[in-house]
């Protein structure tokens, strides 16, 4: 699908020959004398178009426009939320199996966040997973035109949004794939494919190399599976070598049975999504390849399965992490932190300006924040504020959670330096406190995306979050002196 930003007012939009024309109308709409404006004004006056975000009026082969279908949608205050509601409602009504061309026209000057919301909504509604279907239904939409009266003011945001959509969709693609179609080896190959882009390089380490590094915690999780682990190192070099990189660490558990602390059978299929953190790193690198910002970024993905065989790690086992700390594994289903801690230690070698790990880490975070915001943990105020602001810009929200030292009390062990769980209370925080032990040498933040990375039920599938947040965070650094 191609996006195009175009100068359009309502007169120009009416002349567009397209399968669907969506006109986004603000609450303070001022009608002109053209036929489309008169139609909208009349609909507002009679109440056929209600003055609330997401309310729509649909017409087939309207006399006032060249489009096959016309949907006039109310966006209320013209902010991002109103535009998103309007777009989702309009596309739910107007999308058809034959819709190859879509025109979205803002009836008044568009704000940057509104344009981003429109692009995101078009991509979200028209996305189609096809990889493992014998008779797939691919995306039909080939062209989406975003028409605004003020293109120069929103051009940069439009370009960024389109590039971010490409990254989000790559993340969705890999997170949605069943575990047998997204093994650690295949994930490594996906990363290597990104190295075909300028400025990106990739190295994939196997079991022997990981053993030489002393990643005992990571290897302990992987030993329960016949699928060999992979440790993926992606590098985007857009700035001078002397400029310290930002490191992204994505949890890559390609399937999580829970190990010996096995999960309940219900909805266990959704544990293919446990590599959504890794998928978000792949997606972010895809977007970097398109935008080519002047920054350096490293992506680290510890990838393995958490399964059960005769070699699987057992509750009570003690393993030694890459930095020498010993860990008592009290619950084998708290495996994400075990692979991440070694990746965090590996990140030290890059002398990073910042490290952000991304993981579907805890059900406790889902209880705390639901699916609206990702949990964000950091002892560094500057990084925390930058991530929160990036989430707001990207419409990919996070919420800062506490990291008081008292929460680490539950991680004490009689038999190792630290236990891998700290009880049910504050589980998302104790998981973050565990990871924090391995981050003393760099500024760090942790994103728990267990609630935001995928949807369950009839709409089951990956969301591609938090690619948007990560991209905005990285791009804000490109402007730093």
* Catalytic machinery residues: 263, 337
* Measured distance CA(14)–CA(35) in Å, rounded: 9
**Among the listed residues 88, 92, 94, the one whose alpha carbon sits nearest the alpha carbon of residue 69:** 94
């Amino acid at each position: 699908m191609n996006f195009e930003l175009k100068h359009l007012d309502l007169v120009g939009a009416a002349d567009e020959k397209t399968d669907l024309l969506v006109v986004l109308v603000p609450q303070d709409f001022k009608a002109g004398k053209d036929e489309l404006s008169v139609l909208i004004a009349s609909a507002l006056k009679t109440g056929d178009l209600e003055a609330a975000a997401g309310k729509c009026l649909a017409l087939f082969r309207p006399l006032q426009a060249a489009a096959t279908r016309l949907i006039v949608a109310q966006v209320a205050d013209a902010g991002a939320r109103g535009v998103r509601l309007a777009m989702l409602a309009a596309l739910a009504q107007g999308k058809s199996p034959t819709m190859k061309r879509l025109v979205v026209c803002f009836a008044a000057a568009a704000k940057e966040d509104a344009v981003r919301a429109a692009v995101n909504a078009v991509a979200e509604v028209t996305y189609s997973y096809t990889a493992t279907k014998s008779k797939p239904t691919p995306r039909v939409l080939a062209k989406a035109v975003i028409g605004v009266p003020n293109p120069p003011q929103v051009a940069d945001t439009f370009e960024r949004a389109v590039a971010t959509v490409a990254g989000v969709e790559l993340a969705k693609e890999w997170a949605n794939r069943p575990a047998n179609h997204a093994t650690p080896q295949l994930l490594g190959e996906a990363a290597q494919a990104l190295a075909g882009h300028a400025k990106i390089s990739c190295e994939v380490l196997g079991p022997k190399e990981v053993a030489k590094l002393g990643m005992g915690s990571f290897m302990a999780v992987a030993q329960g599976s016949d699928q060999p682990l992979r440790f993926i190192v992606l590098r985007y070099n857009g700035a001078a070598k002397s400029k310290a990189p930002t490191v992204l660490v994505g949890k890559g558990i390609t399937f999580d049975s829970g190990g010996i602390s096995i999960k309940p059978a219900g909805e266990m299929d959704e544990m293919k999504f446990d590599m959504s953190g890794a998928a978000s790193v792949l997606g972010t690198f895809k977007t970097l390849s398109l935008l080519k910002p002047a920054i350096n970024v490293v992506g680290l993905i510890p990838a393995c399965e958490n399964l059960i065989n005769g070699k699987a790690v057992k509750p009570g086992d003690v393993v030694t992490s890459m930095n020498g700390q010993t860990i008592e594994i009290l619950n084998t289903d708290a495996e994400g932190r075990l692979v991440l801690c070694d990746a965090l230690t590996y990140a030290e070698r890059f002398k990073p300006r910042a490290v952000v790990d991304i993981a579907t880490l805890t059900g406790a975070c889902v209880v705390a924040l639901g699916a609206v915001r990702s949990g964000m943990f950091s002892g560094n105020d500057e990084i925390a504020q930058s991530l929160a602001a990036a989430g707001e810009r990207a419409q990919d929200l996070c919420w800062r959670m506490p990291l008081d030292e008292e929460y680490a009390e539950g991680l004490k062990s009689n038999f190792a330096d630290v236990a891998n769980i700290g009880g049910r209370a504050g589980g998302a925080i104790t998981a973050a406190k565990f990871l924090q032990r391995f981050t003393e040498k760099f500024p760090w933040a942790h994103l728990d995306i267990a609630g935001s990375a995928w949807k369950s039920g009839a709409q089951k599938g990956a969301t591609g979050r938090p690619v948007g947040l990560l991209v905005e965070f990285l791009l804000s650094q490109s402007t730093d002196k």
